[in-house]
């Protein structure tokens, strides 16, 4: 018994130490964001700088980064893309799962194959086609459209599995006998039953799109349209020597997500696992 | 029953349900993919109206592009080391936080935290740690190898990239290993204890073989992610010092959008994709074969 107790003490000690190491970078950024530049350079390990605890870094970072505009763009793009992805991929997955038509099978196979293609293979043709031929860059709607195209296969794949395994066919047959049309059956019976998968897809897509940098940076060249990651990059380039300011900007970037994580931790972890294991 | 439905009705139903998804998917993935293959056969510079058709010239030219092979070699080195450390650490963490101890959800959530934030911001955070915090601590405590910035030394800059990747992905892969560990039937472990298995033995002969599919998934995910790393590379080292950490994804990006060699860049992207696909397919194939044996 004694030996077991000792073992669990060691286990806790190891885990706590590891967790501290994992959290340490965030902690360093956080404490230094409240210091003057000179204090950051002189002693980054100190909890509070010599000139005290200051908030001016944040005020300036918000202004110079045009933080709220970028936040608005990020919210608009991530929000509307995610919403549309859920609707169109759930609908497509439903018809693919229920009908044995050629078109359904073909589309299904193509989507599964596409999961293996990395973004780097598509970025040059995308810029060539949408920039060079159609002149459609620099619109938020173009970015949203591309987010749809990239995310639809993974989401469709998850919904397809859920329809096949969790929605009883008898329910739909009964509704059809009662005179329900296909669309009514889908929106009133199937979609509500897909709720757990909707949560998973919302989480996976929101995290991916919110943090995406490369695609948005290729599409949105106009500073009024910048999303948060692009704004951070530009800001970093211009102010990389003003450490306090930079760190405040980084805190502004990570704080909203960490706050959300505090409340939705359980769903986020479950959603990510469901997405990864099935994918 | 389906056969009796008239074709028009079927088409309307398909377009109505799958139309928008098919439309986006075709225009963003399928057509650009095919167009991308066509681009590899041209010497387009991204601006001029005519795209000179050059056949397989881009493919043969790759063999002479030393920089591309250097960046590819670096990517393979970085990926190999990262993948090993990511998975060892992830499995270790998963094993420690599934024993039914108090507060294990708290630890899981903590280790996963870096994955909530994009590679770009993570890179900037660590740039501060490596170039400021560690240097200051190193000077203060008189530790030689910490007292200069790791990011200004080629070898250490690569190590820094690996450290950040391991830090980021280990928490993610941990979740997959946890899911695997939880799905091992309790009877199996109990039977082992009755047969006199110690902790080490049950780990070696029961748990590890049962986790084969988790290993296949995690290796696949970590290989493909490491191979295509761009954001982190950009924000942590930006390919430096002196281009020593410019990995393949960044090289492809610069070839196309900085040097304006769209045809050559696209060809290298396709080659990179094929190499990555070959490695990950081989890995999955070997992993699955083990599953049958176990």
Question: Tell me, what's the ipTM?
Answer: 0.90
User: Closest by alpha carbon to B215, among B276, B288, B279?
Assistant: B288
Asked whether residue A52 falls in the same domain as residue A177, the answer is no
Q: In this structure, are residues B110 and B104 in contact, taking their beta carbons and an 8 Å threshold?
A: no
Query: Is the predicted pLDDT of residue B72 greater than 90, yes or no?
Result: yes
Confirm whether A272 is domain-assigned: no
Same domain, A191 and A104: yes
Q: Which of A160, A275, A113 is nearest to A208 (CA)?
A: A275
Task: Locate A109 and state its tokens.
Answer: 């196979």
Give every residue of chain A whose pLDDT is below 70, as ranges. 1-3, 278-279
A10, A147: one domain? no
What percentage of chain B has pLDDT greater than the value 70?
97
Q: Please give the tally of structural domains in chain A.
A: 2
Mean local confidence (pLDDT), B160-187: 93
By Cβ distance, the residue of A149, A233, A250 closest to B25 is A149
**Cβ–Cβ < 8 Å for B71, B244:** no
**Residues of B with CB below 8 A from A117's CB?**
29, 33, 273
- Identify the sign of the CA torsion B151, B156, B161, B165: negative
Q: Does the domain at residues B65-293 carry the CATH identifier 1.10.3720.10?
A: yes
Asked if A61 and A249 count as a contact pair (C-beta separation under 8 A), the reply is yes
Q: Is residue A157 part of a domain?
A: yes
Nearest-Cα distance to chain B for A66, in Å, is 17
Record: contact A269-B124, CB cut-off 8 A: no
Residues A128 and A93 in one domain: yes
R_g of chain A, CA atoms, integer Å: 24
How sure is the predictor about B197, in pLDDT bands with cuts at 50, 70 and 90?
A: confident
Q: CB–CB of B121 and A122 under 8 A?
A: no
Tell me, yes or no, whether A215 and A86 share the same domain. Answer: yes
Cα A229 off chain centre by: 12
Which pLDDT does position B85 carry in this prediction?
97
Find out whether the peptide bond into B176 is cis, omega within 30 degrees of 0. Answer: no
A188: region left, alpha or beta (phi > 0 left; psi from -120 to 50 alpha): alpha
Cross-chain Cβ contact A104/B21 below 8 Å: no
Dmax over CA atoms of chain A, in Å, equals 77
Check residue A4 and give its pLDDT: 72
Based on the fold, state whether residues A45 and A70 are members of the same structural domain: no
Task: State yes or no: pLDDT of B286 exceeds 70.
Answer: yes
A101:B27 CB<8 A: no
What pLDDT is stored for residue B188 in this prediction? Answer: 86
pLDDT on residue A192: 94
Residues in chain A with CB shorter than 8 Å from the CB of B25 are: 107, 110-111, 114, 149, 152-153
* Best A22, A80, A102, A124 residue to mutate vs chain B (most B CBs within 10 Å): A124
Question: Which positions ≥6 away from A200 have C-beta within 8 Å?
Answer: A158, A270, A271, A274, A275
Compute the nearest-CA separation of A118 from chain B (Å): 7
SS3 B49: coil
* Domain membership flag for residue A228: yes
Q: Which pLDDT value is given to residue A187?
A: 93
Contacts of B113 in chain A (CB under 8 A): 22-23, 26, 258, 261
Q: CA-nearest residue of chain A to B35? A: A125
Of A36, A58, A80, the last residue of a domain is: A58
Q: Name chain B contacts of A104, Cβ cutoff 8 Å.
A: 14, 18
Same domain assignment for residues A124 and A228: yes
Is the pLDDT at B111 greater than 80? The verdict is yes
pLDDT at B30: 95
Q: Could you tell me if A89 and A227 lie in one domain?
A: yes
Q: Which structural domain range is residue A160 located in? A: 66-239
Top residue of B94, B102, B114, B120 to mutate, by most chain A CBs within 10 Å, is: B120
Residues 209-268 of A with CB under 8 A from B: 210-214, 218, 229, 232-233, 236, 243, 246-247, 250, 253-254, 257-258, 261, 265-266, 268
Q: Which of A34-43, A115-124, B101-110, B253-262 has the lowest mean pLDDT?
A: A34-43
**Across residues B172-184, what is the average pLDDT?**
92
Asked, for residue A9, whether it belongs to a domain, the answer is yes
Residue A260: inside a domain: no
Give the H/E segment covering residue A256: helix A243-278
* B51: nearest Cα among B64, B34, B35, B31: B35
Partners of residue A150 in chain B, C-beta under 8 Å: 28-29
Residue that wins the pLDDT comparison between B220 and A52: B220
pLDDT tens readout for residues B1-52: 445 678 888 889 999 999 999 999 999 999 999 999 999 998 887 777 777 7
**Can you give the CATH number for the domain in which A202 is found?**
1.10.3720.10
What percent of chain B has a predicted confidence (pLDDT) above 90? 55
- Lowest-pLDDT range of A54-58, B72-76, B247-251: A54-58
Same domain, residue pair A40 and A73: no
- Give pTM, 2 decimals: 0.90
Average pLDDT over residues B222-243: 91
Same domain, A164 and A234: yes
Give residue B189's pLDDT band: very low, low, confident or very high (50, 70, 90). Answer: confident
Report which of B183, B184, B203 is spatially closest to residue B193, judged by C-alpha positions: B203
> Is residue A37 domain-shared with residue A77, that is, in the same domain?
no
Q: What is the pLDDT of residue B292?
A: 56
pLDDT value at residue B58: 87
User: Could you tell me if A44 lies within 8 Å of chain B, comparing CB atoms?
Assistant: yes
Same domain for A9 and A128? no
Mean pLDDT of the residues in chain B: 89
- A119 near B CB under 8 A: yes
């Amino acid at each position: 018994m004694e030996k077991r107790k000792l073992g669990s003490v060691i286990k806790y000690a190891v885990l706590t130490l590891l967790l501290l190491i994992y959290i340490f970078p965030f902690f360093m950024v956080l404490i230094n964001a409240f210091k003057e530049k000179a204090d950051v350079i002189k002693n980054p390990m100190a909890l509070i700088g010599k000139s005290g605890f200051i908030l001016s870094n944040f005020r300036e970072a918000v202004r110079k980064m045009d933080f709220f505009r970028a936040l608005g763009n990020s919210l608009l793009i991530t929000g509307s893309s995610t919403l549309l992805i859920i609707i169109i991929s759930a609908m497509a997955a439903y018809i693919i799962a229920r009908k044995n038509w050629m078109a359904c099978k073909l589309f299904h196979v193509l989507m599964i194959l596409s999961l293996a293609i990395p973004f780097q293979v598509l970025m040059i043709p995308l810029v060539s086609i949408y920039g060079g031929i159609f002149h459609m860059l620099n619109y938020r709607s173009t970015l949203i459209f591309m987010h749809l195209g990239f995310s639809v296969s993974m989401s469709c794949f998850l919904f397809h599995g859920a329809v096949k395994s969790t929605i009883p066919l008898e329910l739909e047959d009964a509704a059809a006998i009662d005179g329900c049309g296909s669309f009514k059956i889908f929106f009133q019976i199937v979609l509500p039953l897909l709720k757990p998968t909707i949560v998973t897809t919302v989480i996976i897509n929101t995290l991916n799109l919110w943090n995406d940098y490369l695609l948005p940076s290729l599409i949105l060249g106009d500073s009024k349209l910048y999303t948060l990651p692009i704004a951070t990059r530009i800001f970093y380039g211009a102010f990389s020597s003003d450490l306090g300011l930079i760190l405040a900007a980084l805190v502004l970037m990570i704080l909203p997500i960490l706050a959300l994580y505090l409340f939705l931790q359980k769903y986020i972890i479950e959603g990510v696992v469901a997405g990864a294991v099935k994918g | 029953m389906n056969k009796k439905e008239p074709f028009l009705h079927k088409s309307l139903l398909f377009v109505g349900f799958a139309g928008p998804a098919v439309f986006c998917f075709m225009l963003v993935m399928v057509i650009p993919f095919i167009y991308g293959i066509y681009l590899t056969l041209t010497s387009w510079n991204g601006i001029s109206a005519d795209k000179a058709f050059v056949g397989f010239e881009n493919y043969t030219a790759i063999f002479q592009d030393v920089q591309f092979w250097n960046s590819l070699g670096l990517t393979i080195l970085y990926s190999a080391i990262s993948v090993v450390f990511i998975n060892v650490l992830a499995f270790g963490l998963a094993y420690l936080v599934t024993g039914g101890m108090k507060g294990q959800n708290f630890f899981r959530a903590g280790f996963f935290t870096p994955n909530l934030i994009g590679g770009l911001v993570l890179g900037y955070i660590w740039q501060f740690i490596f170039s400021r915090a560690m240097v200051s601590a190193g000077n203060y405590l008189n530790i030689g190898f910490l007292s200069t910035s790791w990011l200004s030394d080629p070898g250490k800059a690569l190590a820094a990239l690996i450290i950040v990747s391991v830090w980021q992905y280990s928490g993610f892969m941990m979740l997959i290993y946890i899911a695997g560990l939880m799905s091992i039937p309790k009877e199996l472990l109990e039977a082992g204890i009755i047969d006199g298995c110690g902790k080490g033995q049950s780990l070696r002969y029961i748990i590890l073989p049962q986790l084969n599919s988790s290993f296949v998934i995690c290796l696949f995910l970590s290989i493909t992610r490491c191979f295509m790393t761009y954001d982190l590379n950009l924000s942590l080292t930006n390919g430096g010092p002196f281009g020593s950490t410019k990995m393949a994804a960044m090289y492809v990006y610069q070839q196309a959008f900085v040097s304006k060699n769209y045809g050559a860049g696209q060809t290298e992207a396709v080659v990179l994709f094929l190499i990555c696909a070959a490695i990950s397919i081989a890995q999955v194939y070997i992993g699955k074969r083990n599953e049958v044996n176990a």
